[in-house]
Structure 1
């Protein structure tokens, strides 16, 4: 299976393709019940793996190892991977891209931020000179075989946003992302300068961009939508609530089968067993071919 080709076909189809941000294997197991595409979120991974904010702490071997585990359990899902700035060095970026393609990633997002980097919806972002980023992007593009590449700009000045978006659209990148877009009017302006190149929109709760439905995004000409943090933030809320209730109940666990949809050991085990069955089915199909 050529994962990049498959994701390109999905993006080219009518409508906006949703990719759900996952931060560990359990969140991916839950998300797989509802969606067939994942976004391997840098925000979520930094929070889950390191317990740190998304400001450049991720080491590329950790990210590659996570994607390898995801691909083993989810052989049919799209996997778009956030590789930040390519881990600073262009040669490292190329090495990571080649590693990710070999283990079955569908695509990567490469941003134009310079260190210290920030979440795309945070204040204080700084970007590389455009020529420097384009040179790094060109090396990454030449190092991939089939992997889909999203070129991302974190520019914040209005004239620079459009200048960079147009320049990214003129490269061989498959998709263009302007992160932290603040209004639907700006989506339209970006759509105009990018031309026929697919565009990606990043939604994050509490972020700078408007909350838009897939129908609204399709009408605006958006081809892909990534949802960076719904799993992470929902888990945060649910865990905080559950532990507060446990404390209030003097340590007595709630019943797992009380009709409220509560999860117990049986439901959790059944969820995780599906990861084994998906893997075995993919191996059987590969052997048959």
Structure 2
């Protein structure tokens, strides 16, 4: 089964599918030890690869190279990739889709924003005319072979959200996402207008959307739960705290206690990647 069809089967299985946002190979290693599905977050990639906010700086070859490394390290995980607006032009979007499918991406998310784009959970978003987005989306759908395609709208006004949701549900897109949806009631309304089209809900700490559990989302008719930035925000919190403690202790490293990560625990996590990539290759743990 292709990667796209494997994710498509999972989405339509009747159970909600969680996808965890990752921003580099190490965060992916942590997330992959807990979940079967990874989301290549544009927010996280812009932060980790460029040190910049997610407002359109990502160059598509950088994203493709990152996804290729992920697929080599995690051959059995679902990989859903954020390609923003398809890097502006429909032709570029299709070219990127061809590359991603060839290197083993499971699916992509294509949004209807226009430049300058914004994270889906911040103010100031502007959207393309619906007809212009549909033209780009349909070209991508014609280009892909088995790749799963998530059609995303960043509309914020309720009437426009429902108009676009209905139009996107009528396409051959596999899944629909309304990003930054602000209430449970709006989720219900979107679910009602899109028929049996699978629905994705994206939540981000401090974002516009309500914090909901997987069981709550499944009761609302959501098929996919995407978490864009849990690894990134946890890393920032932990690193900031570690630097404060190091300064407070005059540069003395803290004693390793049970549950803390030191050299051995970190190496053990990374050795799992060797096992995933070369399952028949037996290795003794590295001595520390």
Give TM class, smaller chain. over 0.9
Report what 1:206 is aligned to.
206
Shift >6 Å, 4+ stretches? none
Report what 1:108 is aligned to.
108
Gaps of at least 5 residues in structure 1 are 284-289
Report what 2:247 is aligned to.
247
Report what 1:275 is aligned to.
273
Query: Residue by residue, what CA displacement relative to the aligned partner does 1:16-54 show, whole Å, maximum 9, x if unpaired?
Result: 110000000000001111101000000000011111111
Report what 1:75 is aligned to.
75
Residue 92 of structure 2 corresponds to residue 92 of structure 1: yes
Report what 1:58 is aligned to.
58
Q: Structure 1-normalised TM-score?
A: 0.96
Q: Does structure 2 conserve the Cα–Cα contact (< 8 Å) formed by 1:169 and 1:194? A: yes
- Secondary structure of 2:279's partner? helix
Query: Residue by residue, what CA displacement relative to the aligned partner does 1:207-236 show, whole Å, maximum 9, x if unpaired?
Result: 000000000000000000100000000000
Superposed, 1:1-150 pairs within 5 Å as 1-150=1-150
- Secondary structure of 2:39's partner? strand
Query: Residue by residue, what CA displacement relative to the aligned partner does 1:107-143 show, whole Å, maximum 9, x if unpaired?
Result: 0000000000000011011100100000000100000
Residue 166 of structure 2 corresponds to residue 174 of structure 1: no
Task: Determine the C-alpha separation between the residues in 1 that align with 2:221 and 2:158.
Answer: 20
Residue 254 of structure 1, CA deviation = 1.3
Task: Determine the C-alpha separation between the residues in 2 that align with 1:269 and 1:157.
Answer: 48
Task: Determine the C-alpha separation between the residues in 1 that align with 2:93 and 2:280.
Answer: 29
Task: Determine the C-alpha separation between the residues in 1 that align with 2:278 and 2:91.
Answer: 35
Task: Determine the C-alpha separation between the residues in 1 that align with 2:15 and 2:238.
Answer: 32
Q: Does structure 2 conserve the Cα–Cα contact (< 8 Å) formed by 1:75 and 1:282? A: no
- Secondary structure of 1:113's partner? coil
Structure 1 stretch displaced more, 154-163 or 18-27: 154-163
CA-atom RMSD in angstroms: 1.0
Task: Determine the C-alpha separation between the residues in 1 that align with 2:101 and 2:255.
Answer: 44
Task: Determine the C-alpha separation between the residues in 2 that align with 1:50 and 1:279.
Answer: 27
Residue 282 of structure 1, CA deviation = 8.3
Q: Structure 2-normalised TM-score?
A: 0.96
Report what 1:286 is aligned to.
none
Task: Determine the C-alpha separation between the residues in 1 that align with 2:209 and 2:117.
Answer: 19
Residue 255 of structure 1, CA deviation = 2.2
Report what 2:286 is aligned to.
none
Query: Residue by residue, what CA displacement relative to the aligned partner does 1:193-214 show, whole Å, maximum 9, x if unpaired?
Result: 0110001000000000000000
- Secondary structure of 2:278's partner? helix
Query: Residue by residue, what CA displacement relative to the aligned partner does 1:137-160 show, whole Å, maximum 9, x if unpaired?
Result: 010000000000000000112111
Q: Does structure 2 conserve the Cα–Cα contact (< 8 Å) formed by 1:74 and 1:278? A: yes
Task: Determine the C-alpha separation between the residues in 2 that align with 1:78 and 1:32.
Answer: 10
Task: Determine the C-alpha separation between the residues in 2 that align with 1:173 and 1:282.
Answer: 38
- Secondary structure of 1:281's partner? coil
